[in-house]
Amino acid sequence: MQQGDRCSIEPYMNCGECYACKKGATNCCESLEVIGVHKNGGMCERFILPARKLHPSTKMTMEQLALVETLAIGCNCVNRSASKEGDKALVVGAGPIGMAAIEFLKVAKTEITVMDMNEKRLEFCKEKLGVDHTVVFKNDDTEVDRLREVNGGELPVTVIDATGSHVSMSNAFQYVSFTGQVLYVGITTQELSFKHVSIHRPELTIKASRNAVPADFTRIISLIEEGVINTDPWLSHQASYDDFIGEFTDWLKPETGVIKAVLHMN
């Protein structure tokens, strides 16, 4: 690596000494500090990183490199699901994290259904990401029947909840097939509540997915460089430094359809 190299930043500062780090699960370090969460991030004038947290590419643009960490969240989640070709998978929540999971379910060649209450996001997932099925969440107790309808009478073997809603996460078990699995990639600080029988009777597996590991960054850069993952649909909004103040407030509004917005500093 040399001065001037374009790099993606792995923002997970781990100790390297705890049990999780030693087994390679650096994303679960006992003293983990995430840049932009636990310590100041990219809005600083400058910050210092260990070279091991930089993942270079000679082919990717700066905009693409900025997406790698978002995609890595989905990569780690799908890795934990061990999804394989032909599996039926449901992603609940069509935000950026849900869409990152979709990208790697596509790489795994699964049959993908996405459920969200935002019909525009579902349309985006269908048209731009090429998912197989979409279901509008109406909270009217018809979701299970509609999931079966689009999946040939079956329920998904894997359900990934990317909502960050404790209500959605508590209700996710009803959408998965018997002996299937539920993965939580969204985060909530609130308690989840469900009846034990809802996981015991179908013998479900529950997994959490946190952040990503260095190998995910390397893999994603290769997939983008090889054209397996198309980043164009992700870069929905851009602004120059001079226009940023005026544009930023609009980016926060759901109706503007922001997926990922890029600020150009020069």
The string of pLDDT tens digits covering residues 14-42 is 999 999 999 999 999 999 999 988 888 87
Note whether 204 and 217 are same-domain residues: no
Q: Is 190 a member of any domain? A: yes
- Domain identity same for 153 and 190: yes
In tens, the pLDDT along 45-94 reads 888 889 999 999 999 999 999 999 999 999 999 999 999 999 999 999 99
Q: With a cut of 90, say whether residue 245 has pLDDT above it.
A: no
Q: What is the pTM of this model?
A: 0.93
Instruction: Assess whether 93 and 177 both reside in one domain.
Output: yes
* Sign of the CA dihedral with 65 first, then 69, 70, and 76 last: positive
CATH at residue 170: 3.40.50.720
Q: What is the CATH number of the domain that holds 256?
A: 3.90.180.10
In a domain, 1, yes or no: no
Q: For residues 151-158, give the mean pLDDT.
A: 97
In degrees, rounded to 5, the angle at the alpha carbon of residue 143 between the alpha carbons of residues 194 and 92 is: 70
Query: Per the domain annotation, does 116 fall within a domain?
Result: yes
Task: Give the burial string for 48-68 (b: 16+ CB within 10 Å, else e).
Answer: eeeeebebebeebeeebbbbb
What pLDDT sits at residue 47?
A: 81
**Do 198 and 93 belong to one domain?**
yes
Q: Structural domain of residue 191, as residue ranges? A: 79-208
Answer yes or no: is 150 within a domain: yes
d(CA 180, CA 203): 8
pLDDT tens string 176-231: 999 999 999 999 999 999 999 999 999 999 999 999 999 999 999 999 999 999 99
Within-domain flag for 2: no
Q: What is the pLDDT of residue 170?
A: 97
The pLDDT assigned to 3 comes to 86
- The angle, 0 to 180 degrees and rounded to 10, between the axes of the packed helices 62-81 and 96-107 is 70
Query: Do 190 and 116 fall into the same domain?
Result: yes
Residue 123 within any structural domain of the chain: yes
What pLDDT was estimated at residue 91?
Answer: 98
pLDDT tens by residue, 81-134:
999 999 999 999 999 999 999 999 999 999 999 999 999 999 999 999 999 999
Q: Is residue 226 part of a domain?
A: yes
Predicted confidence at residue 61, as pLDDT, reads 93
Q: What is the DSSP letter of 39?
A: B
The DSSP element (H or E) to which 251 belongs, if any, is helix 244-251
166 and 223 part of one domain: no
- CA separation, residue 124 to residues 66, 153, 168, 226 (Å): 21, 25, 21, 23
Number of domains in the chain: 2
